[in-house]
Amino acid sequence: MIAREIVTELERLGVPDYSIERGRKHPKLRINVNGASKIYVLPGTSSDHRALRNAICGIRRLVKGMA
């Protein structure tokens, strides 16, 4: 499942405050870093073999921009 890998990556990046919310079509990752809150929309399915890799890269960019 894609959420497990996302949680592992968030822990590796040192993000303590996050939540994964179920949306209508896509899950949403809410990240709180240094008092700032951002939302990252995750892929609904992992039908594309690059979906997980793209999501992790997007989350890394988001966290890096918040630091």
- Measured between alpha carbons, how far is 67 from 45 in angstroms, rounded to an integer? 29
Q: What's the pLDDT score for residue 59?
A: 95
CA of 15: how far to CAs of 9, 50, 51, 62, in Å? 9, 23, 21, 11
Q: Say what the pTM is.
A: 0.85
With 80 as the cut, is the pLDDT of residue 49 above it? yes
Q: What's the pLDDT score for residue 1?
A: 60
Q: What's the pLDDT score for residue 32?
A: 93
Q: For residue 35, what is the DSSP state? A: T
